[in-house]
Amino acid sequence: MLEGLDLIGILKTIFAWNPEQPLTFMHLFFWGFFAIVLLIYSLVYKHNLARTTFLLLVSFFFYFKTSGFFIILLFFTITNDYFLGKGIASAKTIGRKKLFLTISIVCNLLLLGYFKYAYFFTESFNQLAGTNYPFFNHYAQFSNTYFSTSFSVGKLILPVGISFFTFQSISYVIDLYREKVQPVKNILEYGFFVCFFPHLVAGPIVKAHQFLYQINLPYKLSKHDFGMALFWILNGFAKKVLADYAALNYVDRIFENPNYYSGVEVILGVFGYSLQIYADFSGYTDIAIGVALLLGFRLKTNFNSPYKAASTSEFWQRWHISLSSWLKEYLYIPLGGNKRGSVGSYLCIALICSIVILLTGKLWLFFIFAAVAVLLFVFTLIFASFKQVINTNVNLLVTMLLGGLWHGSSWMFIIWGALNGLGLVIHKLWQKISPFNESKSVLYRITMIFITLVFISFTRIWFRSANLETVGFLFDRMQNHMGWELTWNILTGYKTVLLVILAGYLIHWIPESTKSKYRNFFANLPVPAMAATVVVSVFLLYQAMSSDMQPFIYFQF
């Protein structure tokens, strides 16, 4: 009897969803699960349909272990966009194609909007109308009724990865409409494209025209590919350990209680957070790329040493490349790119202004925004050069503001997006007058890298802080309580964690040619030597891992 109870307990641990312990790459359970996946995969990988079906089921299981009954949303997205995609592909007129495309995009954005912004809209409506309507989570009620869950209907829980899989699904219907891809053969292939588990919950975001063709390619994995896959997994693992160590031992303390620290400590914490978020997020995508490669699929690079960037423009070509390129291809260019503003551009501005009004609950802001719009319009009529500046920069600002809102409905993300958009605009203007555009000076590039890192790091004060009050405290410490006389004590008191952060930056700045050499050296090791390196590395990393393991930062988006 006890043995039976133990077996039931084991099965529950394996197959039940525990919201307190979502399945992540850092858990030993995942690697046991992945070993079984590889074992079964070795029996089916030569047959494309069997391979696709098996990996789809594995991906469903992975998402269920990560997000529980939110998997229903994934089913809805797959089914809805698969059939609307068929409608786009078979439509005889451009009007019908546009109709199916519009329905798909609206459904995806409504789904995303509900789970990211429903609470915000309820709260904002109450502020504007002077009402006190309680928020009611209809999905929670549905799940509680039909699946015996116990979600609070008064709270909104964000499904893990919803921003990623909705963007991937949108890319499919748009690529179909643009005739950049052929429709998938069946719903199994489409489901696999949307929810392939390595990239499902935190990217990289996969575009249809960059991935679908791989589904029907024969499995191919050379010894070098195998070695590179292991390298990326270990590399990502090491980054995550570094990120958690920096967060728990320094960065989180600064942002949670800034008034307890001097301005020097705050500045070090800001740069520490820049390294933490890079190591955390790129660590996840490194592991995702390695796991996908072992299964025979190539995911695009998502980070390219972003802190080597010598401008904000270059930074966004190196940071979260899959999101930046998605926004460029499916938002920035359709709005008019850097050539002109469009009706869509100004509709997006109107949407953003409406969200700002809702965030503040101040209806009088509408009249302020309207007056500014009229004033800008008059200036564009009078001054042709001013009109050109507006037209060539409005889409940059719109794209970055919407990129900020993609992260969440908060003043923090709007300000962060606006600052980055402003940084891009200033860089464009600087390029027109800079005497250094053709400069090959190493000193100039190092200077610009430092300036870019400082700018990007300080915009992240809004990204990381819980509210504007915390931002105010942080800047107050840096302006009025620097504590330069404490610098030596700070450096010695936090020497271990600060040395780890410094080491992280130094490794990041290693030339790409050197990094390529040691990656290839590892990938070309004899199998016994490679296996020994992996075992030793994993042992050391698990020894260094914090017992209070942090969830990946981008799980919340």
Q: Average pLDDT, whole number, for the chain?
A: 85
pLDDT tens-digit profile of 341-355?
A: 666 677 777 777 777
Q: Which two tokens stand for residue 233?
A: 């997994």
Contacts of 294 (CB under 8 A, 6+ apart): 38, 221, 226, 229
3-state SS of 321-345? HHHHHHHHHHHHHHHCCCCCCCHHH
Q: What are the counts of helices (DSSP H) followed by strands (DSSP E) for the chain?
A: 26, 0
Cβ–Cβ under 8 Å, residues 426 and 420: no
Cβ–Cβ under 8 Å, residues 290 and 232: yes
Contacts of 192 (CB under 8 A, 6+ apart): 52, 55, 56, 59, 215
d(CA 532, CA 522): 11
pLDDT, residue 134, reads 82
What's the farthest any 2 CA atoms get from each other in the chain? Answer: 87
Give, for 464, the enclosing helix (H) or strand (E).
Answer: helix 442-464
How far is CA 274 from each of CA 323, 402, 507, rounded to the nearest angstrom?
Answer: 18, 21, 14
Cβ–Cβ under 8 Å, residues 264 and 490: yes
Classify residue 471 by its DSSP letter: H
Taking residue 379's Cβ as centre, other Cβ atoms within 10 Å add up to 13
pLDDT tens-digit profile of 544-553?
A: 776 566 767 6
pLDDT, residue 532, reads 93
- Is the pLDDT at 498 greater than 60? The verdict is yes
For residue 198, say if its preceding peptide bond is cis, omega within 30 degrees of 0: no
pLDDT tens-digit profile of 192-222?
A: 999 999 988 777 888 889 899 999 899 999 9
Rounded to 5°, the CA angle 135-72-29 comes to: 105
In angstroms, the first-to-last Cα distance of the chain is 44
Residue ranges covered by each domain of the chain? 15-219, 220-303+466-557
- Is the pLDDT at 1 greater than 50? The verdict is no
Contacts of 57 (CB under 8 A, 6+ apart): none
- Is the pLDDT at 7 greater than 70? The verdict is no
- Is the pLDDT at 34 greater than 50? The verdict is yes
Once rounded to an integer, what is the mean pLDDT over residues 48-72?
90
- Is the pLDDT at 20 greater than 70? The verdict is no
For residue 204, say if its preceding peptide bond is cis, omega within 30 degrees of 0: yes
Quick one: pLDDT band at residue 142, thresholds 50, 70, 90? Answer: confident
pLDDT tens-digit profile of 417-468?
A: 888 988 988 888 888 888 887 888 899 999 999 999 999 999 999 999 988 8
Contacts of 518 (CB under 8 A, 6+ apart): none
Q: What pTM, to 2 d.p., does this model score?
A: 0.88
Per mean pLDDT, which range of 17-21, 55-59, 93-97, 483-487 is the poorest? 17-21
Give, for 512, the enclosing helix (H) or strand (E).
Answer: helix 512-523
Which amino acid is it at 179?
Answer: E
pLDDT tens-digit profile of 356-409?
A: 776 666 677 777 877 877 777 777 667 666 666 676 677 788 888 888 878 877
CA 222 to chain centre: 30
pLDDT, residue 115, reads 83
Cβ–Cβ under 8 Å, residues 243 and 283: yes
DSSP H stretches of helix in 383-441: 384-407, 411-433
- Is the pLDDT at 2 greater than 50? The verdict is no
d(CA 430, CA 424): 10
CA atoms within a 13 Å half-sphere pointing along the CA-CB vector of 512:
7
Classify residue 362 by its DSSP letter: -
pLDDT, residue 18, reads 67
- Is the pLDDT at 67 greater than 90? The verdict is no
Candidate ranges 83-87, 320-324, 409-413; pick with highest mean pLDDT: 83-87
d(CA 466, CA 462): 8
DSSP H stretches of helix in 70-186: 71-90, 94-129, 138-147, 162-177
What is the helix, strand, coil percentage profile of the chain, to 5? 75, 0, 25
CA-closest candidate to residue 420, choices 407, 433, 439: 407
Q: Which two tokens stand for residue 204?
A: 């990289």
d(CA 474, CA 486): 17
Percent of the chain's residues with pLDDT above 70:
89
pLDDT, residue 387, reads 66
Per mean pLDDT, which range of 42-56, 148-162, 474-488 is the poorest? 148-162
Quick one: pLDDT band at residue 554, thresholds 50, 70, 90? Answer: low
Q: Is 363 helix (H, G, I), strand (E, B) or coil?
A: coil
